Chains A and B, each alone.
Chain A
Amino acid sequence: MKVKVISRSTDVFLRETKQQIHKVFRNYDPDLHPFETAREYTRALNAVKLERVFAKPFLGNLDGHRDSVSCIAKHPKQLSTIVSGAFDGEVRIWDIPRRVCLRQFVAHNGIVRGITYTPKGLKFITVGDDKTVKTWNAAEPQLGEDEEPVNTVLSKTVITAISHHRQKAIFATAGEVVQLWEESRNEPLRTYQWGVDSLHDIAFNMVEANIFAACASDRSIILYDTRDNGPLRKVVMKLRPNKMAWNPMEAFTFTCANEDYNLYTFDTRNLNKPVNVHMDHVAAVTSVEYAPTGKEFVAGSYDKTIRIFECDHGHSRDVYHTKRMQRLTCVHWSLDNKFIISGSDEMNIRIWKARASEKLGPLRPKERNALQYAEALKCKFASHPEIKRIKRHRHVPKHVYNAQRELRTIKEKEKRKEANKRAHSRKGTVPHVPERQKHIIKEVQ
């Protein structure tokens, strides 16, 4: 007779001293882990609820400006530094982690229209309504020295925007005409004109660094090349694009923030039809900027909200708002992909988390694993109605809510009217126009 029964000795299964952690024994036999799917679903539901519970994106604000913030520039090398310009001509340099203003001075007579850092971050250049382009040292002046620009250039025309080349010491300005400048010269290298009376935004491509584009007041976006004498191409839209941003990872993609409440992502190779139309704002979109990953972008609008979009999605992933935040003038995505900086009409600069429920600071391995597991579960059960509903639900201010409803009825009405028209006309006289083509007038070579 041979016999063996289960007999567990406690010293194998219990920890020896209280300083040790508890011993863990695993057995992955599926029979010991019943209701796998139902439990995973419950965990996913909890995870998605917790995500909404922890969604507290607002981190803090930088106040000090005495007029609305007009523009902001990020330091290309330091995450903690930004410089902002205001409508009263004042420029301030901020330390974000401490939330203090490091320097402040009046740079221009009139509105500061644009700011940009030089690629190494040693200097920054401002343009203002006084037709001047001023270069400033990024380092604080010595004790007793006055705040003086390193260089001041008086332009012949009004300047409303500025953008710096990614590597070279050249920058471009927009205004009555587009001008290309060398940092060390006081005359523009080149001037571009295409029968337009004014341009209001300009941006250099970050991958194909010689390409840049500008938004013009004739509702067009014009592409330029620094190596060329004239502009390349333009696309004319039904309503004015306010601002544009290049995708930092895809050279040929850019997004423009439009007056018609939408954002349009274009492929430069085919401008007569946008790749995607991003809807959700309920007022003119005033600013847009890409995340450094190139997968998402943030848009600020006249409807007092910030929305975050995924590049390939037509609707926003998140919306940020506060009671006191007014019309947005500029938004930026920090270079570590974690924060969003917004400047608005009521003189404040705000700092937000890029992912509303993300935990900041270092994570313990266990914590990280748990979060990754939750993320995977949410992804797995994303299409379940309950989970989808909770994940999508956002509270928006009353005016936005009402405006959304109004827009919806307007759109429904238009759709219905078109359908009626189509039903009562000869076949083919009222064609279906896709949403992507509705807002474009033409592409001009």
Chain B
Amino acid sequence: MARIRTPKKSVNKTQKAGNKPEEKVQNLRVNKGSKKYNLPKELVEKYAKGNGVNLKKVHTKIHKKKIEEKEKQIKFAAQVAAQTEVLLTEQEGHLEAGDGETTTQFTQSEIREHVDLTAAAKTFELKLEFGPYRSKYTRNGRHLVIGGRKGHVAAFDWVTKRLHCEMNVMESVHDVSFLHVETMFAVAQKNWVYFYDNQGIELHCVKRLNKVTRLEFLPYHFLLTSCSDEGYLSWLDVSLGQIVSQVNTKLGRLSMLTHNPWNACLCLGHAKGVVSMWSPNSREPLAKMLCHKAPLTAVHVDPSGMYMATAATNSEVKIFDVRKLEGPVQEYKLISSAGHVAFSQKKMLALGMGNIVEIYRDCCTQAAKRPYLRHRLNSSIGNFNFCPYEDVLGVTTAKGFTSLLVPGSGEPNFDTYEVNLFQSKKQRQEAEVKALLEKIQPEFITLDPFAIAEVDTPTLADKLEAKNKLLHLKPPKVKYEAKNKAKGKGGSANMARNKKIVQEAATKEFVKASRQLQPAEKTKPQPYHVLNRFA
């Protein structure tokens, strides 16, 4: 029996938990031994798998028992997972101001002075001339690819500063993106999308992706998604080299693209203040949200897929609950409009305004009063990304690339089986094969990522629609091919008649079949009358 379980963490719940600093301690008995583990309620909620099956609706005793057993196991698994939290080795980063200080006033150089050498080495600046630039990190945050509008493309390991490749593609570069491994990346050039390996060798040129403005990669689906100048949205399966779907959004030039890491839907920002969400399975957007009353400038969804931040030209920034498609949860009014937004793994929000980057902490559940950090760059921002699993924000500008330290922005503990930061070549190859084996099919991209585990029950509306559709169908055309008759027996008149007979028989059958689908008319039992028998 398929499990029905949708862990929908509502924002309200977390809000409540965030507002109450005193933790309610829940007593959990694990195993039958005498050991009692006290886990804070928040922690249990974090690993909980939802409410589970409503046992009242299960009618058979045996299934009830079975489901009960399963529920117990799931609950136990969640508890054990929550207990593993004590085993995590690394501590989150943080920045605390002393009395009379604010964190906003600390500059990068001050932070750099107070941290150890390896961490200090993570701030650096590249002065480049082919800007404005765009950049992207790999999923493990070790590698970086940058592309300058004037054709400069470079990929490198930014931790060791080892260059993989650097070249000039002699065309305008609009966006860059790594694929599932650091050995391959895609570049959206003047006309088409090109793929390069880490030595800079051109692997492919995909001409069906025309005039692409933004690239996004969905690592679990192996889909490279792109939006174009001409309003096309496309999903390219990089494991097969096939375009899964290409949709004309009919919404004009697309220049804001981001994906929701929770359900792999694409979010497009539009000039009408609308964010539309797309999956490759439908020609229409799955959802549209009117976020601002002014043209949008930036959209980003946080890595847990809970919040979406949008910025508009009227210098507003709003944060929405993207799981429930509700909001705004928070609204901010800035002095000038933000051109870029980005969430970090720990839900810090970076806003880019001209040449200033502001970073906000705890801005989703409560209203942040002032920025956590602020940094002024010497030229206007191209884009920025938080480096996953590091306290680093990589900012590209018109004149290069700057790496900033943002204490507490990254997830300190990684999972080797999911994303390995210290991957050897062999491990990378193994992981690639494993990831390919469990590639998720593009059909599973829906607003609710748990849809696959739900019981498929057609609604009454669906049933009615299907029935109506059937009733108004045309009878199928029969393909009739006359047998070769002996000479003198056939003739075109005979053939036409035979064809008609066959077609009529098919129509009759079809009508009979569709009539069966109609509900039988209920005749009221007539009151008995003596003369009824002669009726």
Residues of chain A whose beta carbon lies under 8 Å from any beta carbon of chain B: 1-10, 12-14, 22-35, 37-39, 41-43, 46, 380-381, 383-384
Do B90 and A6 touch (CB < 8 A)?
yes
Residues of chain B contacted by A12 (CB below 8 angstroms): 89
Per a CB cutoff under 8 Å, which of A14, A27, A31, A383 touches B422?
A: A14
Per a CB cutoff under 8 Å, which of A14, A23, A32, A39 touches B220?
A: A39
* Residue in chain A with minimal CB distance to B264: A35
Q: How far is the CB of B433 from chain A (nearest CB, A)?
A: 12
Q: How far is the CB of B220 from chain A (nearest CB, A)?
A: 5
Per a CB cutoff under 8 Å, which of A3, A29, A46 touches B438?
A: A46
Q: How far is the CB of A260 from chain B (nearest CB, A)?
A: 30
Do A7 and B116 touch (CB < 8 A)?
yes
Q: A2-B94, A35-B449, A46-B437 are in contact. Are A25 and B305 (CB under 8 A)?
A: no
Per a CB cutoff under 8 Å, which of B90, B95, B110 touches A8?
A: B90
Q: How far is the CB of B232 from chain A (nearest CB, A)?
A: 26
Do B422 and A13 touch (CB < 8 A)?
yes
Residues of chain B contacted by A39 (CB below 8 angstroms): 220, 438, 440
Once bound together, how far apart are the Cα atoms of A31 and B46, in whole Å? Answer: 9
Q: A1-B98, A39-B440 are in contact. Are A25 and B89 (CB under 8 A)?
A: yes
Q: Is B500 an interface residue (CB 8 A)?
A: no
Do A4 and B91 touch (CB < 8 A)?
yes
Residues of chain B contacted by A380 (CB below 8 angstroms): 2-3
Q: Is B441 an interface residue (CB 8 A)?
A: yes
Residues of chain B contacted by A4 (CB below 8 angstroms): 91, 93-95, 115, 407
Once bound together, how far apart are the Cα atoms of A239 and B96, in whole Å? Answer: 88
Q: Is B495 an interface residue (CB 8 A)?
A: no
Do A1 and B97 touch (CB < 8 A)?
yes
Q: A1-B101, A2-B94, A42-B438 are in contact. Are A30 and B47 (CB under 8 A)?
A: yes
Q: A3-B94, A3-B407 are in contact. Are A25 and B437 (CB under 8 A)?
A: no
Residues of chain A contacted by B116 (CB below 8 angstroms): 7
Once bound together, how far apart are the Cα atoms of A437 and B441, in whole Å? Answer: 48
Stretch in B173-181, B243-251, B408-416, B523-531 with 4+ CB within 8 Å of A: B408-416
Ranked nearest first, the 5 interchain pairs of A and B with the lowest CB-CB distance are: A31-B304, A5-B391, A7-B119, A2-B96, A27-B413
Do B97 and A26 touch (CB < 8 A)?
no
Residues of chain A contacted by B391 (CB below 8 angstroms): 5-6
Q: How far is the CB of A277 from chain B (nearest CB, A)?
A: 21
Residues of chain B contacted by A33 (CB below 8 angstroms): 415, 418
Q: How far is the CB of A148 from chain B (nearest CB, A)?
A: 58
Once bound together, how far apart are the Cα atoms of A39 and B89, in whole Å? Answer: 27
Per a CB cutoff under 8 Å, which of B95, B389, B410 touches A2?
A: B95
Could you list 22 A-B pairs, sorted by A, with CB under 8 Å? A1-B96, A1-B97, A1-B101, A3-B95, A3-B106, A4-B94, A4-B407, A6-B410, A7-B118, A7-B119, A9-B118, A25-B413, A26-B84, A28-B415, A31-B345, A33-B418, A34-B261, A34-B262, A35-B220, A37-B453, A38-B220, A41-B444
Do B93 and A6 touch (CB < 8 A)?
yes
Q: Is B452 an interface residue (CB 8 A)?
A: yes
Chain B 450-470 interface 0/1 with A at a Cβ cutoff of 8 Å (1 = within): 101100000000000000000
Q: Is B379 an interface residue (CB 8 A)?
A: no
Q: A37-B450, A383-B1, A384-B2 are in contact. Are A10 and B422 (CB under 8 A)?
A: yes
Residues of chain A contacted by B304 (CB below 8 angstroms): 31
Q: Is B81 an interface residue (CB 8 A)?
A: yes
Do B84 and A28 touch (CB < 8 A)?
yes
* Residue in chain B with minimal CB distance to A7: B119
Q: Is B15 an interface residue (CB 8 A)?
A: no
Do A1 and B106 touch (CB < 8 A)?
yes
Do B410 and A42 touch (CB < 8 A)?
no
Q: A25-B89, A31-B304, A35-B220 are in contact. Are A5 and B115 (CB under 8 A)?
A: yes
Q: Is B114 an interface residue (CB 8 A)?
A: yes
Q: Is B252 an interface residue (CB 8 A)?
A: no
Do A3 and B449 touch (CB < 8 A)?
no
Once bound together, how far apart are the Cα atoms of A5 and B123, in whole Å? Answer: 12
Q: Is B494 an interface residue (CB 8 A)?
A: no
Among B81, B97, B440, find the residue whose CB has the most chain A CB atoms closer than 10 A: B440
* Residue in chain B with minimal CB distance to A24: B416
Once bound together, how far apart are the Cα atoms of A419 and B422, in whole Å? Answer: 71
* Residue in chain A with minimal CB distance to B438: A42
Do A38 and B94 touch (CB < 8 A)?
no
Residues of chain A contacted by B2 (CB below 8 angstroms): 380-381, 383-384
Q: How far is the CB of A389 from chain B (nearest CB, A)?
A: 15
Per a CB cutoff under 8 Å, which of A8, A32, A38, A384 touches B440?
A: A38
Q: How far is the CB of B420 from chain A (nearest CB, A)?
A: 9
Question: Which B residues, 28 to 51, have Cβ-Cβ distances below 8 Å to chain A?
Answer: 46-47
Chain B 198-242 interface 0/1 with A at a Cβ cutoff of 8 Å (1 = within): 000000000000000000000010000000000000000000000
Residues of chain A contacted by B450 (CB below 8 angstroms): 37
Q: How far is the CB of A249 from chain B (nearest CB, A)?
A: 20
Q: Is B88 an interface residue (CB 8 A)?
A: yes
Residues of chain B contacted by A7 (CB below 8 angstroms): 115-116, 118-119
Residues of chain B contacted by A384 (CB below 8 angstroms): 2, 452
Residues of chain B contacted by A13 (CB below 8 angstroms): 421-422
Q: How far is the CB of B143 from chain A (nearest CB, A)?
A: 16
Per a CB cutoff under 8 Å, which of B93, B98, B440 touches A42?
A: B440
Among B90, B419, B437, find the residue whose CB has the most chain A CB atoms closer than 10 A: B90
Do A30 and B7 touch (CB < 8 A)?
yes
Once bound together, how far apart are the Cα atoms of A30 and B305, in whole Å? Answer: 11
* Residue in chain A with minimal CB distance to B90: A6
Q: How far is the CB of B411 from chain A (nearest CB, A)?
A: 7
Do B111 and A3 touch (CB < 8 A)?
yes
Q: Is B161 an interface residue (CB 8 A)?
A: no
Residues of chain B contacted by A32 (CB below 8 angstroms): 411, 414-415, 418-419
Do B405 and A5 touch (CB < 8 A)?
yes
Residues of chain A contacted by B444 (CB below 8 angstroms): 35, 38, 41
Q: Is B439 an interface residue (CB 8 A)?
A: yes
Question: Which B residues, 253 to 308, have Cβ-Cβ distances below 8 Å to chain A?
Answer: 261-262, 264, 303-305
* Residue in chain A with minimal CB distance to B453: A37
Q: How far is the CB of A353 from chain B (nearest CB, A)?
A: 25
Do B305 and A5 touch (CB < 8 A)?
no
Residues of chain B contacted by A30 (CB below 8 angstroms): 7, 46-47
Residues of chain A contacted by B405 (CB below 8 angstroms): 5
Question: Which B residues, 385 to 428, have Cβ-Cβ distances below 8 Å to chain A?
Answer: 389-391, 405, 407-408, 410-419, 421-422, 424, 427
Residues of chain A contacted by B261 (CB below 8 angstroms): 34
Among A12, A13, A33, find the residue whose CB has the most chain B CB atoms closer than 10 A: A13
Once bound together, how far apart are the Cα atoms of A3 and B95, in whole Å? Answer: 4
Do A22 and B427 touch (CB < 8 A)?
yes
* Residue in chain A with minimal CB distance to B424: A22
Once bound together, how far apart are the Cα atoms of A27 and B90, in whole Å? Answer: 11
* Residue in chain B with minimal CB distance to A41: B452
* Residue in chain A with minimal CB distance to B110: A1
Residues of chain A contacted by B98 (CB below 8 angstroms): 1-2
Q: How far is the CB of A44 from chain B (nearest CB, A)?
A: 10
Do A3 and B114 touch (CB < 8 A)?
yes
